[in-house]
Amino acid sequence: MRLARGEDVEGVLDGGDPRAWLALDAGVRRATWWRAGAGRAEWERVAPLPGDPAGLDASRYALALCHRDGRVREAAVRGVAGRPALLPLLVVRATDWVAPVRQAARQVLRELVHGDAAGGDGLGAVVGLAPVILLVGRRERGHFGVALLDEALRDPSRPWPPSLPAHADPAVRRHAHRVAVETGRLSPAELARTAARDADTVVRSLCAEAALAAVPEGRPCEEVVGPLLGARSPQARSAGVTALRRTGEPERAVAFLADRSALVRACARYVVRQAGGDPPAWYRERCARAGDPLLPPGAVIGLAECGERADAGPLWALLGHPSAAVRARAVAGLRLLDVADVGRLHPLLDDPAPAVVRETALAVEPSVHLLSEEWLGERLDAGRPRHVRVAALRLSFRRGGSARARALRVAREDADPVVRARAAREAAR
């Protein structure tokens, strides 16, 4: 209705959102069957379009491109090239269910993309339309636009717009990086930097794998390995660690045996083992220093990941470590080795660190019946720290009986909204 009254397209819908164009396309043809003039949309009764849309302003031309009459849509498609703001609707019409409309739209779109032959910017045009192209590409007849986009991106004679790899639309950025990897548009060093810095998980993983595949055998390649090893993303760091075996530098992987990521630790153990090293011995040596205030938490859980039940001794000794992260990893390691002892672990349910209490609750949960209802009930008292009360709630519900009944009262009556919400969640399980 607003377009029919002549309001600007830019003011009526968000042109940067590809879903807005699809919503407009569907909305223009939405009929009000229960009113007079059944089969026609309400805007048509207010401001009907002429058969020839050539003289229409942009607002009403957008309605013509989405009109219920295929002849009107086809006529509008043939003249849309001079109206850049409406080109997203041309992409939509290229998937039209009416063959003449669809063929006409595809012809105009093809001429637009190849317009640089006549001095235009065909690649720039198709990149601008990429969000809509990729969205409608999921439709039954949407393959044409995607193929045209790929054709333009894969043409080596066309330099990519600098903004393309950093496009705001995630689908466009992912598609562009896939094409870049397949066509070699990005150098191995560029791939490594993207894997290390990009905010998108899919792009990071894609570029990390491609950068890893580009690492040469038997010689250092710091421009690729360096950014990967220094990345915040575990996927990128793991790719960098794995690359150290190919570059002949497995000794550098030792520094990642205690990484904060389990994925990176596993890759580091693989590289060290392949070079003849002994990761379990490395972990045992580090964990034997129970008084070391600089003991990395990754070394503690790493020992459990590749050790045996006989390695539980150093982990028990680390339950009193001054670092909360080390204590939490020690509890997690004992659970991983299946040697958790409720009698020795339950005092840690009063630990001042929430992470330690969470890990302890997980470790003692299978044997929660060994904890008395009275002891658990004391930890539900309002004077206890919130993280202690939340863990006690979880264990009370698992234990059942009067402990569960008291936990249900907390869910209904407690003054702390966080504790009430967690209690309600546990009660619903």
When mean pLDDT is compared across 112-126, 267-281, 322-336, the lowest value belongs to 112-126
Q: Is residue 216 one of the residues assigned to a domain?
A: no
Section 39-65 average pLDDT: 80
Dihedral sign, Cα of residue 216, residue 219, residue 223, residue 229: positive
147 and 288 both lie in a single domain:
no
Task: Tell me if 200 sits within 8 A of 178, measured CB to CB.
Answer: no
Compute the distance between CA of residue 171 and CA of residue 165 in angstroms, rounded to an integer. 11
Q: Mean pLDDT highest for which of 35-44, 60-69, 243-252?
A: 243-252
What total of structural domains would you count in the chain? 3
Q: What is the pLDDT of residue 163?
A: 79
CA distances from 223 to 182, 191, 197, 267 (A): 20, 10, 14, 20
Which is nearest to 316 in space by CA: 325, 298, 299, 329?
Answer: 329
Q: What is the pLDDT of residue 415?
A: 85
CA geometry: angle 178, 179, 182, nearest 5 deg:
90
Dig out the tokens for 424 from the structure: 């309600």
Which pLDDT band holds residue 50 (cuts at 50, 70, 90)?
confident
CA distances from 63 to 67, 260, 292, 343 (A): 6, 56, 72, 74
Section 83-93 average pLDDT: 93
Q: C-alpha 265: how far from its chain's center?
A: 22
Domain containing 426 equals 371-429
Q: What is the pLDDT of residue 127?
A: 85
Full-model pTM = 0.79
CA geometry: angle 259, 285, 322, nearest 5 deg:
70
CB atoms within 10 A of CB 115: 17
291 and 425 both lie in a single domain:
no
- Could you give the dihedral angle defined by the CA atoms of residues 263, 268, 270 and 273, in that order, rounded to the nearest 10 degrees? -150
135 and 52 both lie in a single domain:
yes
334 and 425 both lie in a single domain:
no
Last residue of a domain, one of 113, 146, 167: 167
Compute the distance between CA of residue 255 and CA of residue 16 in angstroms, rounded to an integer. 46
